[in-house]
């Protein structure tokens, strides 16, 4: 009698486990979540971030981030569509009321492993002062 193959975790389960690495500051499970051919792009430095290729490089970056107890990561919303997940998050780096940044990661899971993740955040970049001035003047309106 043969044993049926074990089902691979779905995208939502992989993303939940991945987010827990950061919320719990426990990187011990990272290797089991990341594909050998993973490609990851960080949110900084703007405008392109830094690109990491391969499990070892991605895990090294994420491990350092997860183990940093001076910061706090909190997912605010997770949307899963097939092999893709979008995670809206808040990253706190201090105790002050403005010591945080919000952002989103778009992540692809294939065969139960993260193979691609690209991060975007609301950080100050070149030109942000000009945009702020336009908003303050009323030249640019945002639909809520």
Give residue 45's pLDDT: 85
Q: Are strands 72-81 and 84-92 parallel, antiparallel or unpaired?
A: antiparallel
143 three-state secondary structure:
coil
Model pLDDT for residues 63-122, shown as the tens digit of each residue: 999 999 999 999 999 999 999 999 999 999 899 898 999 999 999 999 999 999 999 998
Residue 43 is assigned to a structural domain of this protein? yes
100 or 133: which leads in pLDDT: 100
Residue 92 is assigned to a structural domain of this protein = yes
Question: Does any domain span residue 1?
Answer: no
Tokens 């975007």 belong to residue: 120
What percent of the chain is predicted at pLDDT more than 90? 68
Residue 121's domain comprises 11-137
What's the total number of domains in the chain? 1
- Is residue 4 in a domain? no
Does the bond joining 68 to the residue before it have cis omega, within 30 degrees of 0? no
Contact 117, 34 (CB under 8 A): no
Q: How far apart are CA 118 and CA 141, in angstroms?
A: 28
Question: Which CATH number is 70's domain given?
Answer: 3.10.450.50
Determine what percent of the chain is predicted with pLDDT higher than 70. Answer: 79
Give the strand order in the sheet containing 113-121: 51-53, 34-41, 113-121, 100-110, 84-92, 72-81
Identify which has the larger pLDDT, 144 or 30: 30
Cβ–Cβ contacts within 10 Å for residue 87, how many? 21
DSSP-assigned letter for residue 56: H
pLDDT for position 47:
80
In a domain, 62, yes or no: yes
Give CA–CA dist 6/115, Å, rounded.
20
For the cut 90, the answer to whether the pLDDT of residue 137 exceeds it is: no
Domain annotation covers residue 81: yes
User: Across all residues in the chain, what is the average pLDDT?
Assistant: 86
Task: In the chain, count H helices and then E strands.
Answer: 3, 6
Do the domain assignments include residue 3? Answer: no
Classify residue 76: in a domain, yes or no. yes
Residue 82's beta-bridge partner residues?
A: none
Residue 4 has pLDDT above 60, yes or no: no
Q: In this model, does residue 18 exceed pLDDT 50?
A: yes
């Amino acid at each position: 009698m043969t044993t049926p193959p074990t089902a691979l975790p779905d995208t939502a389960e992989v993303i939940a486990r991945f987010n827990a690495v950061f919320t719990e500051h426990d990187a011990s499970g990272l290797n089991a979540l990341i594909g050998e051919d993973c490609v990851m792009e960080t949110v900084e430095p703007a405008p392109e971030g830094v690109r990491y290729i391969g499990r070892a490089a991605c895990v090294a970056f994420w491990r350092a981030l997860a183990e940093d107890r001076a910061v706090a990561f909190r997912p605010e919303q997770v949307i899963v569509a097939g092999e893709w997940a979008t995670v809206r998050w808040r990253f706190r780096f201090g105790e002050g009321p403005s010591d945080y940044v919000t952002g989103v990661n778009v992540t692809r899971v294939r065969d139960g492993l993260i193979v691609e993740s690209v991060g975007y955040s609301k950080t100050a970049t070149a030109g942000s002062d000009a945009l702020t001035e336009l908003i303050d003047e009323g030249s640019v309106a945002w639909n809520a």
